[in-house]
Amino acid sequence: MTRLFNDPTVFADEMIEGFVAASSRWVRPVSGGVVRRSPAPEGSVAVVIGGGSGHYPAFAGLVGDGLAHGAAMGNLFASPSAQQVHAVAAATERGGGVLLTYGNYAGDVLNFDQAQERLRAEGIACETVTVTDDISSAPAGDRARRRGIAGDLAVFKAASAAADAGYDLAGVARVARAANERTRSFGVAFSGCTLPGADEPLFTVPEGRMAIGLGIHGEPGIGEADLPSADELALLFVDALLGEMPDGIAAEGSRAAVILNGLGSVKYEELFVVYRRVALLLAERGVTIVEPEVGELCTSFDMAGASLTLFWLDDELERLWRAPADAPGYSKRHHDIVGLADDAPADLEAGIPLATPASLEAAATAGRAIEAIAAVIEEHAEELGRIDAVAGDGDHGIGMRRGASSANREAAAVLARGAGLGTALERAGDAWAARAGGTSGALWGVILRTAGSALGDADRPTAGAVAAAVTAASDAVRAFGKAELGDKTMVDVLVPFAESLAARAADGPLAAAWAGAAADARVAAAATADLLPRIGRARPHAEKSLGTPDAGAVSLALIVTAVAEVLDQEGSGA
């Protein structure tokens, strides 16, 4: 919901006032909206955009060098009046005529058309291009009725760059029409937006569902579906847009600008997760991506939703898309096209040291153990997050899942290339630390790397050698993390586990010794419920954690128990 406002009836006016105060480097106010701070050269074409407020950075945030010359700003979700459009156009006109371009909504068409008639009656050349990129709003055979959504940016950018490059009015209008013909968008929403002063959102979406093809004000789409994963949403977007290519264009071998747009409440981090899959899917279809944009470019207050736009380029449109721009809500500099990232598994170091057959055999067992670790963490990730949230930030399960799964992938990759036991553990530790981040990620990197260094690639280790490696890892964690027994951390399990394993390994085989030490670890983990944290993020909320075990201690107990099961299945008698 919208929380920060004074009188809802003047919200748009106060918003514009604040925007101008914050953006005076780029814009200045005029009756009806804003225009560029520095006027364009005499004789050049002025590009005037506009629409209702509530969609920032559309429309005022797209006024600046390389983008629009002015924006007419209506009230919330309401078209600017013909008088506003005329006033902004008159303030930007430099003798080369005016292009009016905006999303294809009935109120906007009515008012912009009236402004165009008035400008022409005054002897000012004027052309109009409405943006019709939303494929869900009308059939392909009736594109003139489609509405404009985030694809506005593609048309505004191309037309404005052409105007700044010295095109005449006919040329700017031609470019805008070409850009519109080559732009397709498709959006979804997970919840509606609430206007200032309203008690309820403009529309609702059932919990666990999403509205497909919804407009930027909540206009009905083409249906509902279950809430997808990020990858499933990416596939929906790409399939929908590739299912309606512009005439004469095939995806294979084409170049496209890509805009993944957030509608207000979807976080950038979520958009990036979706975009990683979008990029891969388009690459698989043979599409070369040119300077993609991911972020909030056409919003709807606090609507939770997103849209994907594909702007299919030719040589001229690509040059205009890549031209520099500098506006309050959008900027672009000269730079080379960056190729798509390689999705191959991380190979953290180039070479794989030679290993003995005995070490290769032990490494295979370690690989199965790491696979079991990843599985047990995946199974308990939500519970680990819940435990961590009692007095911490609740991210332990997520971090452990990332780290363990990454370690598992890296171990499998290097084992396939002939890595011995020590190398496999070291590489798995590096991958864990790199992907998990945070304190637990760093500590698990230390544990695996220290153990791997101690065990090496020469021999199949004895039970005593494994116990010594675990002891070395325990000592390294305490030295690195500065935690001691009683601080309510993983150390309260790691130390007793290492001590128990060392004692048991002196009298028996590894599998039995590890199983007994794992049982001791589970007892130690449960006992952390009676401790108060003395270091780390939980310390300021120590009392809240009393009665709840430490998440890091619990995850360590889960891990050593999973490894015990692998060793028992292997029948290790080392």
What's the sign of the alpha-carbon dihedral 522, 523, 526, 527?
A: negative
What is residue 151's DSSP assignment? Answer: T
**Distance (Å, whole) CA 449 – CA 462:** 19
Asked if 307 and 151 touch (Cβ cutoff 8 Å), the reply is no
Q: What are phi and psi of 510, to 5 degrees?
A: -65, -45
**Distance (Å, whole) CA 45 – CA 172:** 8
DSSP-derived pairing of the beta strands 223-226 and 288-289:
unpaired
C-alpha separations of 198 from 8, 179, 266, 377 in Å: 9, 37, 21, 44
Residues belonging to the active site: 217
> Which amino acid would we find at residue 185?
S
What's the sign of the alpha-carbon dihedral 65, 66, 71, 75?
A: negative
**Distance (Å, whole) CA 187 – CA 198:** 24
DSSP H stretches of helix in 61-209 = 82-92, 106-121, 152-164, 169-181
The 3 state secondary structure assigned to 172-219 is HHHHHHHHHHCEEEEEEEEECCCCCCCCCCCCCCCCCEEEECCCCCCC
Asked if 187 and 213 touch (Cβ cutoff 8 Å), the reply is yes
Q: Write the burial class of residue 571 (CB in 10 Å: 0-12 exposed, 13-18 middle, 19+ buried).
A: exposed
Helix crossing, 510-527 with 551-570: angle to 10°? 160
Of all helices (H) and strands (E), which one includes residue 452? helix 438-455
Q: What are phi and psi of 289, to 5 degrees?
A: -90, 130
Residue 448 three-state SS: helix
Helices (H) and strands (E) in the chain, counts: 17, 15
C-alpha separations of 339 from 262, 279, 292, 343 in Å: 24, 11, 11, 12
Cβ neighbours for 142, distance < 8 A, ≥ 6 positions apart: none
Cα 344–348–351 angle (5° rounding)? 105
CA nearest 490: which of 458, 531, 429? 531
**Distance (Å, whole) CA 161 – CA 320:** 6
